[in-house]
Amino acid sequence: MAQRIDGRAVADDVIASVKAGAASLAESSGVIPGIAVVIVGEDPASQVYVASKSRMAKECGFHSVQHTLPEDTAEDDLVALVETLNADASIHGILVQLPLPDHVDDGRIIQTIVPEKDVDGFHFINVGKLVTGETDSAFVPCTPEGSMLMIRRVLGDDLSGLSAVVVGRSNIVGKPMAHLLLAANCTVTIAHSRTKDLPALARTADILVAAVGRPEMVRGDWVKPGATVIDVGINRIDAPERGEGKTRLVGDVAYAEAEAVAGAITPVPGGVGPMTIAMLMANTLTSACRSAEVAPPKY
């Protein structure tokens, strides 16, 4: 039976370090980490996610502001707001909740955020730093960053020579995950929907990361015995066994099958999910520390 990687416990540990780091920074330099969250429109899932981010920021002792804008906000007005936040010395992290309404160019908005406040890690400067191995000065997207932390908690800091397969090639998870594993001296393969004999390739992985967005696509017989499996997927499927109209959350990995083979595995829910907001808080503290020329905590 595989070790269950408890994302909530790891996230709690990160948040405890963030709280201590924020308190220490405020005491030593008078700088209070500040985060601004911008949401456009009334998407229910985005509303819930933004509320949880704001709540966690306040719990960490941050200065937290939220800008909730109507669905029909003009793109130029959103750009102007981001530029105002760029110039605000009390704000160290700017997060624009995606997706934006169809009439707004997501890319233009993201690239308007200055790289040093881009705590989501989506600006081309931060992407370029990650790709070229400058991980110490880059902001890395929070989900792969959190996934990497969980991998290190299981396997240690020396991942040299391990084979890693990342199933999924998105800019938000798959590609940055692959570059983080490369920076840790893994031998990395990025797989996707057009990869030939994907199950056979997956079975070569000491570290298998599933980030493809298909419920339970990765089966137990895709997993190398003893592998560390990171399931980034979160999919809602029908659950008639719970009653009419009921649903449940599953990952991209068939958990019960994979758990019988893997050495360690993240569950869904309770695995990667909690790490995303924890790493957002960690990135915001890092930005504040850099602005005060103080070394940020290590996690």
Catalytic machinery residues: 53, 97, 120
| Chain length of the chain | 299
Residues ≥6 apart with Cβ < 8 Å to 227: 205, 206, 207, 208, 261, 262, 263
Residues ≥6 apart with Cβ < 8 Å to 241: none
d(CA 270, CA 255) in angstroms, rounded, equals 13
Q: Which residue's structure tokens are 């399931």?
A: 231
Chain centroid to Cα 75, Å, comes to 26
Q: Helix H segments across the chain?
A: 7-29, 44-59, 75-87, 106-112, 124-131, 142-155, 174-183, 198-202, 255-259, 273-291
Q: Taking the chain, what is the end-to-end CA distance rounded to the nearest angstrom?
A: 28
Q: What is the DSSP string of 2-17?
A: PEE--HHHHHHHHHHH
CA R_g for the chain: 19
Which one-letter DSSP state was computed for residue 253? B
